[in-house]
Structure formats: C-alpha cells, structure tokens
Amino acid sequence: MTLPRFAIVGHPNKGKSSIVATLAEDDSVAISPEPGTTRSARSYPMRLDGVVLYELTDTPGFQRAREVLAWLLAHDRGAGARAAVVREFVDLHARDTRFHDECELLRPILDGAGILYVVDGSRPYGSEYEPEMEVLRWTGRPRMALINLIGAGDHVDEWRAALSQYFSIVRVFDAMRADFSRRIELLRAFGALDESWAAALNDAAAALERDRDRRRTRAATEIADLLIAVLTATESSKLPSDAPDPPVEKATRARLRRTVSAREHDARRAIQEIYHHDGLDAHESTAAYLDEDLFSQRSFTVFGLSSAQLAITGAASGAVAGGVIDALLGGTSLFLGAGIGALLGAAGTLLGSDRLANVDVLGQPLGGFELRLGPITDPNFPWVILGRALLHARLVAERNHARREGLVIDAGRGEHFADSIDASARRSLDATFRELRSNGGIDATTRAQMIATIATIAASVEAPA
C-alpha cells in the first residue's frame, strides 16, 4: 500500500494554506491576503503513534503557468511521455528562480502525490486558470478540485462547469467554516482519487474521530476539575479578634474572586491546548460574554439558570432525597417525602441565591482568630462557571485553524445558557455540586460521572446548529 500523499496546488491567494491549516489543525500555517506568502512546499504528515497515515503538502501558487505550458507544448512527445516532459521541466529549471514556485509545486506531484487543486468559488471564473489546470493534467496524477469560498460571492456553478473539464472530482469545501465532520468527510473523499489510499484514509478518519471524542472528554475533565476547584475554594485571613472586620473581609473576598478567576483562566488555556489552539491569545479568545467578569450580574443572568429553572432543579434534587425516604418506608409515607423534599429543596435554593459565600470567624488552637471565606454557596454559581466553560469549549472546539481572528459567538444563544442543559443531566450535576459544597470534595467515581455528564452536554452544544 502506498502512502496517500496530496499536494495542495492552485493560483496564489485562493486558500490553499487555509485548507492545509484546517485539515492539519496547524495554527502556524502562514495565511495572508497578500499573494505569494507561501514560498516553498511544506509537508504535514498525519501520524498515528508515529506511523504516517497520509501527508498533505502545501505549495506556492502558479506564477508563470503560461510559460510552463508553452515549454511543455514545445517539448511534447505524445500523451504517453507528458509526465516525463513535466519532470524534465522541473529538473531543467530546478535552479531557475523564475520558475521556483512552479518547481516547488510540481515536485511533490511528480513524486507521487495526488492533486488537490484549490480555487475561490466566491470570485468569477477566469480563463487564466486554464494553463495551470492544463499543466496539472500533463502530470497524469489523480486530481480533485476543491472550490473554496473566501468571500461572500457565489460563482460555484460557473467554476464547477469549468473544473469538470479538467477534474473528475469537484467538491465545495469552505476552509474557513468547515467543522470537524466536514473535514473528516473530505478526508474520506480523498480516497476516491486512488483505491489503494482508501483504507489508510479511513483508518486516519477513524483515528481522528476517536481523537475528537478524547478531546471532548479531556475538555470535560478540565471543566469538571474547574468546578471542583472553585466550589471548594476558600480564602482565609488572620484576625486579632472575633469582631467583624469589613476591610479584611473585603480583601479576602477579592482574593477569593481572583483565585476563582485565575482557575477559570487556567482551564480555558488547557482546553485551547487540547484543541491545538495554543496560540490563541487570551484576550482574543474571549468573546464578549466570556470577557464579562465572572461575578457580574450579567454573567449570572446569561450563564446561570433562570430563577424558575434554579427552583425546579433545587426542587428536583430535594424530591430525589425525599423519594429515598419514600422508598425506605416502602411507600407507606404516601409519597409525602418527595413532596416535602421538593418544597425544602426549592426554598433552600431561592433563599441562598443572594448569598455568594460562607463567612466564618474561627478561633485558632494556638490563639488568634481566622476569617474564612468560602466555599462559594450561591446555588447559581456552578451553573455560571459551567455555562461559561461550555460556551468557551464549544467555541474552541468549533474554531477552524484557518481562522486568524478572534472567537465570535451568537449573542442570541447566550440567554440562560445553562437552561438548555437536559433536565436529568442538570439534576445529576446539581447533586454533585451539593456534595462538593457540603463535603469539600467528591470521590473518583462521582468525578468520573461528572466528567461523563459534562462531555455529553458538550457534545450536544457542539453539534452544528
């Protein structure tokens, strides 16, 4: 089985590097509106545990295609020798700076790569593309045309008609907006170029899909650990007496907020790294809602549960506890346990909703007093943290590596983000939040359940709208 290799070729500035950046998930690919940014061929092998499954090669664009074609026509020895004539051209002009770009782009093709020819379907077709398509045809290698969509225009049909004259497979692929499933779909489609490549490409696609699931679980783990950390976070300050000391309390409160915010920032960075967006600038990565102060009213409004949902969730958890009583009494309680539990749960949730954190003044065994602030008891707080983290994770997961601008979110989807979480998942998480607050920690099994629940929610919010 030969290694599937693909050369991404085409006119300058038509999105070749964007397609490579998207497929290879590599933020380091130079993408610029200025033509000729790519100077030399650059390979992007896909390795699974060190074994290369396929390889993409980004190339410079054609600069003097008509001259190349003229040379080829002048040296034509018949259809059977055309690939050899192209090779002669490359060999002869290897040191000729005038044809540096053409040699760079033709060399991987002559070495066995399949051709992925990229055009911009948002701009009109032009006959100047025909010489370069003709040169590619001379190589005799399997070819696929990809219609990229850089701008807002739509000339896809026009392009499709022209490209079909030179390429057996023509596909539209929006490099800037392609999500993971479209990338995998395209990867599998590459197999149509050469039957012997299909198995390796299918293996690669399957490995990437498993990796995608793993990333989602890793991101969910980061979110779960963030929740565990912030729901158990406390700050303390020494006090000379047990009398109230507002300045010390204020300073301690500020420290607790900074600790929680820093932990949230760490989790975001970790999630960005999981999705290979290491270079995403911290400020750039925070869209308007995510930039909002974690403790602001707006954050609580957008990301927390609505008062009704908060009451329902609290009631549901209480009802579950009451239901246990009913079960123990074998139903002889006439299911009053669940009803009372629900009432207590809802009341507890609402009463606690305007109080951020516990404040205790503790006597110390060796003298003195300690002001201890935390853990944060506001029932909506974990939902705010979760909502913000899920939104960030979704934006990062969906973010295309060809994009260089900041994250953009649909403001309309932000309203009570946590309300969109499935009711059973919400109940399960609420129970875990309560355990965290009351016990100061959870065991490994509960943590694993929490991660699984968050991963399921993340998968549902990642799904294309």
- Near other proteins in 181-210, by CB under 8 A: 207-208, 210
Q: What's the gap between Cα 73 and its chain centre?
A: 48
**Cβ neighbours of residue 129 under 8 Å, at least 6 residues apart?**
11, 119, 162
Q: Of 130 and 194, which has the nearer Cβ to other proteins?
A: 130
Binding flag, residue 25, other proteins (CB under 8 A): yes
Q: Is 28 in the site for other proteins (CB under 8 A)?
A: yes
* Residues from 257 through 286 that contact other proteins (CB under 8 A): 266, 270, 273-274, 276, 278
Q: Which residues contact 363 (CB under 8 A, 6 or more apart)?
A: 242, 369
Structural tokens at position 122:
């948002």
At its nearest, how many Å lie between other proteins and the CB of residue 304? 25
Residue in 127, 165, 241, 332 binding other proteins, rule: CB under 8 A: 127
Out of 165, 241, 332, 438, point to the residue binding other proteins (CB under 8 A): 438
CA distance 205 to 188: 7
Site for other proteins, residues 207 to 226, rule: CB under 8 A: 207-208, 210-211, 214, 218, 221, 225
Helix (H, G, I), strand (E, B) or coil at 127: coil
| Rounded Cα gap, residues 41 and 52, in angstroms | 18
Choosing from 7, 9, 19, 65, the residue that interacts with other proteins (CB under 8 A) is 65
DSSP state of 49: T
The tokens 């602030």 sit on which residue?
A: 373
Distance (Å, rounded) from C-alpha 140 to C-alpha 128?
Answer: 21
Q: Does 50 bind other proteins (CB under 8 A)?
A: yes
Q: At what angle do helices 381-398 and 444-462 cross, to 10 degrees?
A: 50
Of the candidate residues 4, 5, 9, 62, the single one contacting other proteins (CB under 8 A): 62
Q: Rounded CA gap, 163 and 158, in Å? A: 9
Of residues 373 through 432, those in contact with other proteins by CB under 8 A are: none
State the minimum distance, in angstroms, from the CB of residue 38 to other proteins. 7
Among the listed ranges 7-15, 81-89, 140-148, 388-396, the one in contact with other proteins (CB under 8 A) is 7-15
User: What is the nearest approach in angstroms of other proteins to the Cβ of residue 20?
Assistant: 9
- Interface positions, 323-362, toward other proteins (CB under 8 A): none
Q: How far is CA 233 from the centre of its chain?
A: 28
**Residue 123 vs 413, nearer CB to other proteins:** 123
Shortest Cβ distance from residue 380 to other proteins (Å)?
22
460's CB contacts (< 8 A; 6+ apart) are 422
Which one of 18-26, 141-149, 315-323, 403-411 is the stretch in contact with other proteins (CB under 8 A)? 18-26
Residue numbers 130-189 binding other proteins by CB under 8 A: 130, 153
Q: Which two tokens stand for residue 13?
A: 């500035």
Listed ranges 120-128, 390-398, 426-434, 457-465: which one lies at the site for other proteins (CB under 8 A): 120-128
What tokens were used for 61?
Answer: 């664009």
Task: Return the amino acid letter for 382.
Answer: P
285 within 8 A of 406, measured Cβ to Cβ: yes
Q: Which of 388, 360, 393, 428 is nearest to 260 (CA)?
A: 388
| CB of 26 or CB of 378, closer to other proteins | 26
> Segment near other proteins (CB under 8 A), from 125-133, 163-171, 343-351, 424-432?
125-133
CB of 101 to other proteins, least distance (A): 8
Question: Total residues contacting other proteins (rule CB under 8 A)?
Answer: 71
**CA nearest to 169, candidates 150, 148, 192, 135:** 192
